[in-house]
Amino acid sequence: DASWEAFYRVVLLGDPGVGKTSLASLFAEKQDRDLQEQLGENVYERTLTVDGEDTTLVVVDTWEAENLGDSWSHELCLQVGSAYVIVYSIADRGSFESASELRIQLRRTHQADHVPIILVGNKADLARCREVSVEEGRACAVVFDCKFIETSAALQHNVAELFEGVVRQLRLRRRGS
């Protein structure tokens, strides 16, 4: 049945300024205007061909939307994802600590179901300002049982790989492996 796998909702989480909107914009690069108007602000849709198969992702970047700033909508964000991308900046240790807290919150809202979670260390281009090592990011992902990737939205490095990874994780889950 193709209908239930028609699309997956991917929710971006993370502190202000870590690069969520930049990553979402790169994802949505080739999106047409009519579709963007239908979806509304901060929501992006694109069909990716990964390993020869098409999958549509709807990327939701509403964690900090002004009209949704209350705790209820944060709660909603934590519930509606088919997958979650938790972003921190490698140049901001506070945002790394927030990422851990978000992972714990997600564990609460998704106790039984194993939703894919990808931990993303963005701003990998800021090597001289690095406050979180690659090893720490990787170790955190192991502890929290999620995938890990470092990206740079500024250099467009690993951004395609990030969203392809999300698709692969969603498929693994769908197939129950």
The CA-based angle 156-83-91, given to 5 degrees, is 40
Nearest to 39 by CA among 49, 18, 24: 24
Q: Do the Cβ atoms of 7 and 23 come closer than 8 Å?
A: no
Question: How many residues bind ligand GDP, per CB under 6 A?
Answer: 15
Site map for ligand GDP, 21-50, x if CB under 6 A? xx----------------------------
Q: How far is the CB of 12 from ligand GDP (least distance, A)?
A: 8
Q: Do the Cβ atoms of 147 and 161 come closer than 8 Å?
A: no
What is the C-alpha to C-alpha distance for residues 77 and 102, in angstroms, rounded to an integer? 11
Range 112-151, binding ligand GDP (CB under 6 A): 122-123, 125-126
Q: How far is the CB of 119 from ligand GDP (least distance, A)?
A: 15
Q: How far is the CB of 6 from ligand GDP (least distance, A)?
A: 27
Binding site for ligand GDP (CB under 6 A): 14, 16-22, 122-123, 125-126, 152-154
